[in-house]
């Protein structure tokens, strides 16, 4: 938050000194991250290729089995090809063609099963994209919080160091206490420790973001650009409806339910026989040519061990898929409500911090500064009020990041655009 009023009060007290140097790191936007990650992230690319592979399955599954073309000869008396053709009516050479014919409807059902598997793979791809976007946004907002917290600590460390110099000056003329100097030095050391911890968290988070971008962990990243605070305008019921309609997680389970239904229909149709046809021509030399045609029927003779058990299997698969769909719907609703409540709580706290807590704590600090000038309060009170302002400012930015991350989670669960 701003310190304009406070600085006016402090000017008579503070010695001259510049503010911390502005960061020279390059600034990147959220869209920069998203565009690069969607092009390069290996998890998203793998999901995309799995979908492309699955799209090629329905045509294959819905096609007839490859036919068989046979060429051959038949000799009597010796194995040398064609030597007895024309001398023995049983000897011949010829060609035949055979084709398997599944019972009508089986190929269509296999194709429909593959189509639903492709539809599920598409939703896996969409889920991977939404998950990546959510992780990037959460990392972006967390990194922005770390930079804001670092700026607050640097600013307050600078003020505290100036307070320490003032205390030393007062002590040198007999108006201060040595313990006040020690307290200021300890507080500066604590701030340096917090800054070191923030720097470690920044570097770890940048390495994580680089991994999502498919970059080396040490690749330079820069600092996130400031973004205006978003607003949560959707109601909980609207988010429930959006999740039920657009969530790829739920769409995937729906596709698997339909795939299992087609699998059950196919298992039931396997009670019916498949067919085969074969035709051939055979040349016997000076004897009359021979022709052959055959119609085969594959009889499901052992249906009580195969087809009946297959129907039981597919019935169980269908029931499991329906339960999985129901479970996913419940899980989505829970996740939506959890993220919505978290966003609401953070939004309320942000309003409380900006509207009451920070202004009041700043006024308390201003009052203690004025009182310290005339000796009405001790240095510990001044130090406590300064630490309070710092803590509340850092908590404000932390809550802002929590609010934005909750919205990113809602986007992942519902497919809605909230940020």
Q: Concatenated DSSP letters for 170-197? A: HHHTTSS-HHHHHHHHHHHHHHHHHHHH
Quote the pLDDT of residue 347.
Answer: 94
- Can you list the positions of beta strands (E) in 167-314? 223-224, 274-283, 290-298
**CA–CA separation, 170 vs 164, rounded Å?**
10
Quote the pLDDT of residue 5.
Answer: 38
Quote the pLDDT of residue 173.
Answer: 66
Quote the pLDDT of residue 2.
Answer: 39
CB of 108 within 8 A of CB of 287?
Answer: no
Quote the pLDDT of residue 160.
Answer: 79
Quote the pLDDT of residue 174.
Answer: 65
pTM of the model: 0.85
**CA–CA separation, 195 vs 150, rounded Å?**
6
- Can you list the positions of beta strands (E) in 83-144? 92-101
CB of 300 within 8 A of CB of 199?
Answer: no
Look up the CATH number of domain 4-64+102-270+306-414.
1.20.1600.10
Quote the pLDDT of residue 115.
Answer: 96
Domain boundaries, the chain: 4-64+102-270+306-414, 68-101+274-302
| Average pLDDT, 10 consecutive residues per value, the chain (419 residues) | 40 38 74 92 95 95 94 85 83 94 95 96 96 95 94 85 74 68 80 91 94 92 90 93 94 96 95 95 90 93 91 96 96 96 95 92 85 74 85 93 95 89
Quote the pLDDT of residue 171.
Answer: 67
Quote the pLDDT of residue 36.
Answer: 92
- The gap from C-alpha 157 to its chain's centroid, in whole angstroms, comes to 38
């Amino acid at each position: 938050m701003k310190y304009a009023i406070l600085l006016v009060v402090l000017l008579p007290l503070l010695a001259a000194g510049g503010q911390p140097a502005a960061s020279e790191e390059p600034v990147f936007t959220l869209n920069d991250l998203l565009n690069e990650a969607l092009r390069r992230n290996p998890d998203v690319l793998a999901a995309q290729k799995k979908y492309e592979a699955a799209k090629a399955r329905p045509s294959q599954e819905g096609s007839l089995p490859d036919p068989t073309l046979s060429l051959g000869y038949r000799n009597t008396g010796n194995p040398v090809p064609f030597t007895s053709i024309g001398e023995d009516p049983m000897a011949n050479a010829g060609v035949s063609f055979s084709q398997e014919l599944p019972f009508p409807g089986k190929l269509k059902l296999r194709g429909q099963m593959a189509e639903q598997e492709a539809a599920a793979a598409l939703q896996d791809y969409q889920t991977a994209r939404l998950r990546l976007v959510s992780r990037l946004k959460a990392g972006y907002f967390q990194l922005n919080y770390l930079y804001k917290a670092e700026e607050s600590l640097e600013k307050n460390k600078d003020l505290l160091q100036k307070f320490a110099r003032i205390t030393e000056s007062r002590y040198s003329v007999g108006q201060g206490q040595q313990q006040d100097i020690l307290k200021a030095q300890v507080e500066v050391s604590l701030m340096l420790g917090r800054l070191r911890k923030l720097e470690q968290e920044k570097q770890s988070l940048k390495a994580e973001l680089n991994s999502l971008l498919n970059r080396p962990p040490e690749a330079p990243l820069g600092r996130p650009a400031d973004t205006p605070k978003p607003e949560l305008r959707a109601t909980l019921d609207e988010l429930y409806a959006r999740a039920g309609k657009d969530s790829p997680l739920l769409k995937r389970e729906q596709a698997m339910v339909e795939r299992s239904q087609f699998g059950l229909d196919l298992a039931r149709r396997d009670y019916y026989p498949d067919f085969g046809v074969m035709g051939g021509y055979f040349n016997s030399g000076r004897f009359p040519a021979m022709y052959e045609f055959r119609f085969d029927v594959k009889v499901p003779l052992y249906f009580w061990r195969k087809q009946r058990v297959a129907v039981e299997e597919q019935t169980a698969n269908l029931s499991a898929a329906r339960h999985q769909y129901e479970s996913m719907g419940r899980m989505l609703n829970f996740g939506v409500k959890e993220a919505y409540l978290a966003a609401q709580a953070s939004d309320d706290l942000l309003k409380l911090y900006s509207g009451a807590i920070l202004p009041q704590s700043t006024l308390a600090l201003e009052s203690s500064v004025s009182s310290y000038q005339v000796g009405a309060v001790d240095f510990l009170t001044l130090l406590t009020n300064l630490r309070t302002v710092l803590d509340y400012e850092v908590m404000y930015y932390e809550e802002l990041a929590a609010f934005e991350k909750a919205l990113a989670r809602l986007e992942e669960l519902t497919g809605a655009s909230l940020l």
